[in-house]
Amino acid sequence: MQNATVAAIVYELLFEVYRKIDLDRKQGCLQSLPDENGTLHEAFYVEGSGHWEWAAGVLNQVGAMKPLYEPNPPRWTTRLPGQSKIFFRAVMTLDECEAADFLKFETFDNYCVAMFSFEYLHSHFRVPGGLVNLDIRSHRFLNAVASPDDIFAVEDPDRVRFDEARYQEKVMARWRNGLDDRNIRPKTGA
């Protein structure tokens, strides 16, 4: 079994968060919300989408993002003022994430949660033939995720395939059989 590191997958998730923040900024829909000290930050919004909720959850659990605060949630919601479950801020740059020590999170269960979150965010890996669009992946994806992980088949530097059967056999088998705590947790004693 060959796996990408949890750290490499975390980097890819954070890369996607920054990509979405940039897109939201360009579209004029990026909000700013306060942190626990009242300082305003650009808010990453999960859009009520499980795709983004799982990614934000993983990044929050490893310390790369933190929830923001909603002083006045919309009246039509059941959310109370306080810590948000849908708005986050990145607390690491991509360079800081690349240099961060995530060794305490390197377990197979954490790998499964991180890879599930990454694949769920990119369910377009399920396109016929499983071809991965490398134009929208980070500069690290090929060497840090695709090459070391047997879920991906690198045919050449411009052509990578996602192997759905291998993903099901490795990640989803664990997901369905025994992975009851679907959160990223530090190793015991770390």
Comparing CA positions, the residue from 29, 19, 91, 95 lying closest to residue 62 is: 91
User: Strand 40-42 vs strand 44-45: parallel, antiparallel, or unpaired?
Assistant: unpaired
**Contact, 124 vs 164, CB < 8 A?**
no
C-alpha distance across the termini of the chain, in Å: 24
Kindly report, residue by residue over 28-39, the tens digit of the pLDDT.
999 898 888 989
Report pLDDT for 39. 93
Rounded distance, CA 71 to CA 41, Å? 14
* The one-letter amino acid at 88: F
DSSP bridge pairs for 159: 156
- pLDDT at position 79 over 90: no
Encoding tokens for residue 147? Answer: 């090459």
Cα–Cα distances in angstroms (integers) from residue 96 to residues 7, 27, 53, 91, 117, in the given order: 12, 27, 22, 9, 21
User: Does 92 score more than 70 pLDDT?
Assistant: yes
pLDDT in tens, 143-190: 999 999 999 999 988 889 999 899 999 999 999 998 888 999 999 865
The average pLDDT across 40-50 equals: 89
How far is Cα of residue 62 from the mean position of the Cα atoms in its chain?
A: 10
Predicted TM-score (pTM) of this structure? 0.91
